[in-house]
Structure 1
Amino acid sequence: MSMPMDTARKVADAVLYEGYLLYPYRASAPKNRVRWQFGVLVPPEFTATAEPSASVTECLLERSANALVRLRLRFLHVKERRVERAVRAGGFRPVHRLECGDIVHLTFDEATEREVDTVLPMPHLLGTERTVVVRVPGDRAEEPIRTASGDTRGRVVTEHQPLRAVLRVMAERLPGPYGLLKLRIRLENVTGPVRPDVPREQALRHSLVAAHLLIGVTSGAFLSLTDPPEWARAATDCCRNQNTWPVLVGAPGHRDVVLSSPIILYDHPDIAPESPGDLFDSTEIDEMLHLRTITLTEGEKAEARATDPRAAEIIRRAGDLPPELVERLHGAIRHLGEPATPPAPTPWWDPSADVATSPDTDSVTVAGVEIAKGCRVRLVPGSRRADAHDMFLAGRSAQVEAVLRDVDGGTYLAVTLDDDLGADLHRSHGRFLYFAPDEVRPIDAEGLPIEIEDEGRAAGGAEGARTAGGEEAEA
């Protein structure tokens, strides 16, 4: 295949083995008793679980009408590994565990990588569905387990069940001035017959596990479905992907290869260069998994080695990793420097955006009294309010927390109720009640109206004074 496809292989390998075997890498661990949760395509007759038998990938290309489409189907083929003990009467009996000297043998399924490559000319796909049949034959092998004296203690039987899958590929031109093509690939597991109620462990041996596609073109380019250009957004919204997630792979800026992955990724994913090897959990932290692996007891490590050859490699690597490589796992700085873009300006609705306003120090005159933060008022909600809840606030005293102005120049008072047990909490969260100046009356610390002489009394032409509440009081 092409170089970009080979470059994308590291990421594809991480997808292939995502969740293959989880820490603590032992067959007895509960998390390893239900295996292969990602990208499983079961036989169509198997209905005991809700797992699908097919996936659909749809992606967009531009300037690719004469391209060659390179498809690489990759998946794991489950290999049954069964340990059998030799019996005196002759023959063998399946067992979960068999020890022979210092070696432990466990019954635990493994998996074999499978790859199928095909190349299809784009002109042959336009308006026509092409079918690619994938056949993987079954096989069986036996390995004797012998003692140091040469006696047969048992055997290990490994077996692959035959698989059959189909790729259905077609392309169509999309209407519009951009000359876009939509490529559609349906991957189906057509292995059968399999009883619908067989245990899942058996159905997995007839399944495509961690199935994914690498799709490349020799000319033109794919469009990102994760972050498409604005002019192509309507076309990307029409793509329907089932049980898969197509992303651009390879070096950033390259758009000639797509990975159709069973797990959600971002465009141009990469493996951290500090990672010393696969831990079967690429979304985890290598340092944490490494440190926890080296803390396993010798008995646990022995079981992990017997569980799977790949688990044995993890145990070996964790024990042999030199200090300088362990230190690299602690973290890395990828970029240094100034931010690529200047900080965004303060939004217009933020009070600090207008230097002419200061909610903490501004004031407003109500009935001749200057009202600012910290003043106390009595609430008299106006008739223009339509909220029936306001009737419960009428006559209650409150403290002014801020004097605010809206974009139209209107003034409002933010207040908290004096008898509200949650006033301190509301104050700390900035959650207030809001009233116009004509909906409050100034009061003093005792809750009494503040008396202010009106203009008539000051001129000597009035007999009485009015309170801030508008009621006539004795002079």
Structure 2
Amino acid sequence: MAEALAEGGTKSAATRGGAGPSPGVLEQLGAVADAVLYEGYLLYPYRRSSAKNRVRWQFGVLFPRDWVEADGPVTPGISGSADSWYQQTECLLRVRQPDSARLRVRIRYLQMQRKQVEEAGRPVESLRGDDGTVHLTFDEALPRECEIEAPLDELLRGGRTVAVSATEGEDVEPLPHDAGRVVRSREEIRAETTVSAERLSDGLCRIRVTTRNTAPAPAPRTPRDEALRRALIATHTLIGGDGVEFVSLIDPPADLEALARACRNEFTFPVLGGEAGDTGPVLLSAPIILPDHPQVAPESPGDLHDAAEIDEILTLRTMLLTDEEKREARATDPRAAAILDRVDTMPQEVFERLHGAVRSLTPTPPTAPTDPVPTGVTPPASAAPARSPAPPAAPADSVPTWVTPPASAAPAGPPAPFAAPADSVPARVTPTASAAPARPPAPPAASAGPARPPAPPAGSADSVPTWVTPTASADPVRPPAPPARSAAPARPPAPPAASAAPAPPWATPAASADRPAWWQEGADDGLSPTTDTVLVDGVPLGGGSRVRLRPRGRGADAQDMFLAGRTAEVAAVFHDVDGSVHLAVTLDDDPAAELNNWYGRFHYFRPDELEPLEPAGSPDELSAPAPAAAPTRHTTDSETPATEAE
């Protein structure tokens, strides 16, 4: 299939443009930069009612500092999508023309714009005009950019700081026949960018570009949707120049590896543009990870905004939207309407080009032959035996031989649920090592005999490998049994005595004098996921308790953002081997809650991420059907519920 990514490439964009020393290169990289600018702007199925289009703006978001650090300082990491108040790019620059070298830096971002539909002077969520056209209230965005140009000598002497702000404004669009009006409003964006340079040796410099949000912060607990009105969204940087070239930080020349590793890039990832090589005339520093020399796939007729999508699949899906879904998408945003227009009028020959392009095939270098073992040579007794070849793949519906259901396992249940609809909410499943074991635990050993040898390789059930030397008490036929564990995940020991120093109710030690460590027999005694409770704000939470979800994140986890503020019911309390506690919950408004509960598929949250609620049926809360009792088994990674179709 023709992916939206060409070799080392990314999506095409709705606009083209560029300026600078090499217009062809900057124009090509400008298309990639536009794809970064609108990445995730609006996701398939492009409708406002879609759950994933109700939580937006997840890449390169720079908030006012006091708001984003209300719960503590931001910490740079590998996640460029984490919310921050600044973005820093450092790169290496080779100077080819010292006397005339100049640098051009372009800062690009989106400014959020509120599109509010009004009828008779009052705000409404939607409005249908006399001509049948539907108008929807929605958050749009406007592209902003600022360019800084300076001689390299000036940057070496101390740098330059430039405002990259955007003004506030309001536009009013009357609707035909006095049906109402659409008001588009924007708040002021205040930000600044500092560009500086440091000489490392003759002909080599380090460039630093730092962009900061300097706007006054809203109140600390202002909802994220409101704080976004003062944020720089999808912030990224383009750097070019005259008489200079940039060094790859991904694959630098051997003599510059140490200096490349010393560059500090925070909340952004710089890559080379232009033709392939370890240096280039232009650099893109984006909040999403790209390879060096990204390009636009020539088969891609336009942007679909949907994270590293495959054009053919999304085009087919968009074609299959119903007429009503297309009407809603067109009313949601002009960019969604442009996608529908392009898909509906796409010539057959253009569509056919989306299928079958392959650019990643490269010759495989020959592998050095392995020295064979001469015949007649007997390996020493301590040598590991030669492994037998892997058995053929089992049928899709077969049960692996190592799966031994515990005695308390539930009988076979209904078939797996159908894939979630396109506008469903992806599940946020964050099991810990003990909460979701990769394999169902085996029942405890019948006796406390000596430890068994490691499991033999695949073979007949009753054969004994030649390298296994059974002891008098060992059973040479059966594979070894794991440490004794109950059907529930392993638990840490009970909390310390009441006289000990107080600790958070969900923090328990890994071992104590009256309870063995989690890997020892008896560690789970007295623990019950369905009846245990944990105190949160003075309220004991356990199976059946109702809570509101308050994930503690800064936007790096999109699944947290989907679930923030939703109400749920606690199914079980799970203790982790590291001494922490997680509560398994089912969402009140999840149509598959009962089925997920039956399978043991939950969302997991720490106690400090939950807000206790009154019991179901109170006036301010919607009641929800109580799910069945939580089973003691856990989901594995392969059992996670179907997420929203991309």
TM over 0.5: yes
Q: Deviations over 1:33-81 (max 9, x none)?
A: 1111001111223236862111010001122554201011111111110
For 2:452 and 2:219, locate their aligned partners in 1 and report how far apart those are by CA, in whole Å: 69
For 2:110 and 2:142, locate their aligned partners in 1 and report how far apart those are by CA, in whole Å: 5
Residue correspondence of structure 1 range 275-294 to structure 2 within 5 A: 275-294=300-319
For 1:390 and 1:212, locate their aligned partners in 2 and report how far apart those are by CA, in whole Å: 61
Query: Larger deviation: 64-73 or 48-57?
Result: 48-57
Describe the shift of the 1:391–1:195 C-alpha distance in structure 2 as closer, same or farther (beyond 3 A): closer
- The residue number in structure 1 matching 2:142 is 112
The AA in structure 1 aligned to 2:251 is D
For 1:317 and 1:364, locate their aligned partners in 2 and report how far apart those are by CA, in whole Å: 67
The AA in structure 1 aligned to 2:366 is P
- The residue number in structure 2 matching 1:20 is 41
- The residue number in structure 2 matching 1:158 is 184
Secondary structure, counterpart of 2:206 in structure 1: strand
Secondary structure, counterpart of 1:140 in structure 2: strand
For 1:173 and 1:10, locate their aligned partners in 2 and report how far apart those are by CA, in whole Å: 32
The AA in structure 2 aligned to 1:52 is S
Partner of residue 357 from structure 1, selected from 374, 395, 398: 374
- The residue number in structure 1 matching 2:107 is 73
- The TM-score, its normalising length taken from structure 2, stands at 0.53
1:362 Cα deviation from its structure 2 partner: 5.3
Residue correspondence of structure 1 range 294-373 to structure 2 within 5 A: 294-334=319-359, 340=363, 342-346=365-369, 353-355=370-372, 357-358=374-375
The AA in structure 2 aligned to 1:116 is C
1:54 aligns with 2:75: no
For 2:110 and 2:88, locate their aligned partners in 1 and report how far apart those are by CA, in whole Å: 18
Secondary structure, counterpart of 2:306 in structure 1: coil
Secondary structure, counterpart of 1:76 in structure 2: strand
1:192 Cα deviation from its structure 2 partner: 2.4
Query: Larger deviation: 258-267 or 318-327?
Result: 318-327
1:344 Cα deviation from its structure 2 partner: 1.7
1:41 aligns with 2:62: yes
- Moved >4 Å (runs of 4+): 361-366, 389-393, 398-401, 414-418
For 2:478 and 2:303, locate their aligned partners in 1 and report how far apart those are by CA, in whole Å: 57
- The residue number in structure 2 matching 1:96 is 125
In the alignment, is the contact (CA less than 8 A) between 1:14 and 1:282 conserved in 2? no
Q: Deviations over 1:261-310 (max 9, x none)?
A: 01011100112111111000251111111111111111111000000000
Secondary structure, counterpart of 2:230 in structure 1: coil
Describe the shift of the 1:19–1:357 C-alpha distance in structure 2 as closer, same or farther (beyond 3 A): same
In the alignment, is the contact (CA less than 8 A) between 2:170 and 2:186 conserved in 1? yes
Secondary structure, counterpart of 1:321 in structure 2: coil
1:115 Cα deviation from its structure 2 partner: 1.6
Partner of residue 210 from structure 2, selected from 173, 176, 186: 186
Secondary structure, counterpart of 1:124 in structure 2: helix
Identity between Structure 1 and Structure 2 (%): 46
The AA in structure 2 aligned to 1:163 is I
For 1:291 and 1:344, locate their aligned partners in 2 and report how far apart those are by CA, in whole Å: 42
1:164 Cα deviation from its structure 2 partner: 1.8
1:421 Cα deviation from its structure 2 partner: 2.6
Secondary structure, counterpart of 2:164 in structure 1: strand
In the alignment, is the contact (CA less than 8 A) between 2:102 and 2:152 conserved in 1? yes
For 1:224 and 1:301, locate their aligned partners in 2 and report how far apart those are by CA, in whole Å: 44
For 2:33 and 2:451, locate their aligned partners in 1 and report how far apart those are by CA, in whole Å: 66
1:160 Cα deviation from its structure 2 partner: 1.8
In the alignment, is the contact (CA less than 8 A) between 1:247 and 1:258 conserved in 2? yes
Partner of residue 233 from structure 2, selected from 209, 228, 236: 209
1:333 Cα deviation from its structure 2 partner: 2.8
- The residue number in structure 2 matching 1:462 is none
Partner of residue 477 from structure 2, selected from 420, 426, 430: 420
1:325 Cα deviation from its structure 2 partner: 1.5
1:190 Cα deviation from its structure 2 partner: 1.1
In the alignment, is the contact (CA less than 8 A) between 2:464 and 2:477 conserved in 1? no
The AA in structure 1 aligned to 2:59 is F
1:399 Cα deviation from its structure 2 partner: 6.0
Describe the shift of the 1:74–1:420 C-alpha distance in structure 2 as closer, same or farther (beyond 3 A): same
Secondary structure, counterpart of 2:305 in structure 1: coil
In the alignment, is the contact (CA less than 8 A) between 1:163 and 1:206 conserved in 2? yes
- The TM-score, its normalising length taken from structure 1, stands at 0.72
Partner of residue 288 from structure 2, selected from 244, 259, 263: 263
Q: Deviations over 1:413-452 (max 9, x none)?
A: x5576923349xxxxxxxxxxxxxxxxxxxxxxxxxxxxx
- The residue number in structure 2 matching 1:408 is none
Partner of residue 273 from structure 1, selected from 298, 306, 320: 298
In the alignment, is the contact (CA less than 8 A) between 1:304 and 1:312 conserved in 2? yes
Describe the shift of the 1:12–1:400 C-alpha distance in structure 2 as closer, same or farther (beyond 3 A): same
- The residue number in structure 2 matching 1:221 is 245
Describe the shift of the 1:154–1:400 C-alpha distance in structure 2 as closer, same or farther (beyond 3 A): closer
For 2:115 and 2:469, locate their aligned partners in 1 and report how far apart those are by CA, in whole Å: 71
Describe the shift of the 1:34–1:335 C-alpha distance in structure 2 as closer, same or farther (beyond 3 A): closer
For 2:58 and 2:380, locate their aligned partners in 1 and report how far apart those are by CA, in whole Å: 68
- The residue number in structure 2 matching 1:174 is 200
The AA in structure 2 aligned to 1:243 is F
1:340 Cα deviation from its structure 2 partner: 3.8
- The residue number in structure 1 matching 2:158 is 128
Secondary structure, counterpart of 1:227 in structure 2: coil
1:144 aligns with 2:174: yes
In the alignment, is the contact (CA less than 8 A) between 1:399 and 1:416 conserved in 2? no
For 2:106 and 2:354, locate their aligned partners in 1 and report how far apart those are by CA, in whole Å: 32
Q: Which ranges of structure 1 fall in alignment gaps of 5 or more residues?
A: 87-91, 347-352, 367-371, 374-388, 402-413, 424-475
- The residue number in structure 2 matching 1:233 is 257
Q: Deviations over 1:186-229 (max 9, x none)?
A: 10111225333222122112111101110002113111111112
For 2:276 and 2:363, locate their aligned partners in 1 and report how far apart those are by CA, in whole Å: 17
Partner of residue 249 from structure 1, selected from 253, 267, 273: 273
For 2:161 and 2:452, locate their aligned partners in 1 and report how far apart those are by CA, in whole Å: 73
The AA in structure 2 aligned to 1:11 is V
Q: Deviations over 1:346-403 (max 9, x none)?
A: 3xxxxxx234525xx755899xxxxx99xxxxxxxxxxxxxxx99988xxxx9666xx
Secondary structure, counterpart of 1:163 in structure 2: coil
Whose strand fraction is larger, Structure 1's or Structure 2's? 1
Paired positions, count = 368
The AA in structure 2 aligned to 1:421 is R
The AA in structure 2 aligned to 1:137 is T
The AA in structure 2 aligned to 1:225 is L
Describe the shift of the 1:362–1:6 C-alpha distance in structure 2 as closer, same or farther (beyond 3 A): same
